[in-house]
Amino acid sequence: MTRTLADFIGRYAVAREIEDHLTGARSRFVGVAGIEAQDAGAHYRETGRLTLPTGQEVTAERRYLWRPEGKAIAVDFADGVPFHRFDPSLGGAASAHLCGADLYRGGYDFTRWPEWTLLWEVSGPRKSYRSRTVFRPDP
């Protein structure tokens, strides 16, 4: 089934596992995300608690702008700088993103829709980790 930006509008329970490839340490984020339609696109806002490998908990937040780009969805940082794009009709592979010298590769998995997953493998001189985020509809 082909998904469009409108299919993602809603509220989600979010669970993220982050594994540092260099140390083996794991962090966990638990929170909520809202994707709200606005103009021709949508605003993504995520808030929750990040538990660091030390056990320390901190409040964390992310914001993105989502917009249709043909059949694809472009995801930009909150300031409008491009982050990545993905095409839900092609299985959700995301375009690579270079953050300084660190490379983000990953994509979306919609096989359990309406639950969906985002996976990033990050490698470079400053970062080496895997991030797996599960989004579940939150009524």
Task: List all residues 6 or more positions away from 84 whose beta carbon is below 8 Å from its beta carbon.
Answer: 74, 75, 94, 95, 96, 97, 104
Number of Cβ within 10 Å of residue 66's Cβ equals 23
Q: Taking 80 as the threshold, does the pLDDT of residue 98 lie above it?
A: yes
The string of pLDDT tens digits covering residues 35-78 is 999 999 999 999 999 999 999 999 999 999 999 999 999 999 99
| pLDDT at position 89 | 84
Domain residue ranges of the chain, discontinuous segments joined by +: 5-137
Phi, psi of 91 (to 5 degrees): 100, -5
Q: Give the containing element (helix H, strand E) for 8.
A: helix 5-8
- Tell me if the domain spanning 5-137 has CATH number 3.30.930.10: no
Helix and strand counts by DSSP (H, E) for the chain: 1, 10
